[in-house]
Amino acid sequence: MTDGTEFFYNLSTGSVEEGRQSPATDLMGPYASRAEAQQALKTAAARNEKWEQDNDAWEGTDEA
């Protein structure tokens, strides 16, 4: 974020918005760059997978 600009990924349209333009319920972010916002769904999926693995390990049900 070089000049304070924030980017958001719009879940309804699949597009990246510069600044908050849509209702918060439609947005993921803020992100520091357009590129980060474009990867929002991949980032969320990777985090969810990691959390699931951590949870399985915590519960002793991991298959590793």
Total domain count, the chain = 1
Q: What is the pLDDT at residue 61?
A: 77
Mapped onto helix, strand or coil, the DSSP state of residue 26 is: helix
User: Quick check: is 29 in a domain?
Assistant: yes
Position 52 in a domain:
yes
Look at residue 59 in the predicted model and tell me its pLDDT: 86
Where the chain has pLDDT below 70, the residues are 1-2, 62-64
Q: Which residue, chain included where needed, has tokens 């980060």?
A: 36
Query: Could you tell me where the DSSP H helices lie in the chain?
Result: 34-38, 40-59
The domain of 32 spans 7-58
In a domain, 12, yes or no: yes
Res 1: pLDDT: 41
From CA 50, how far away is CA 40, in angstroms rounded?
15
Residue 64 lies in a domain: no
Instruction: Tell me, yes or no, if the pTM score tops 0.85.
Output: no
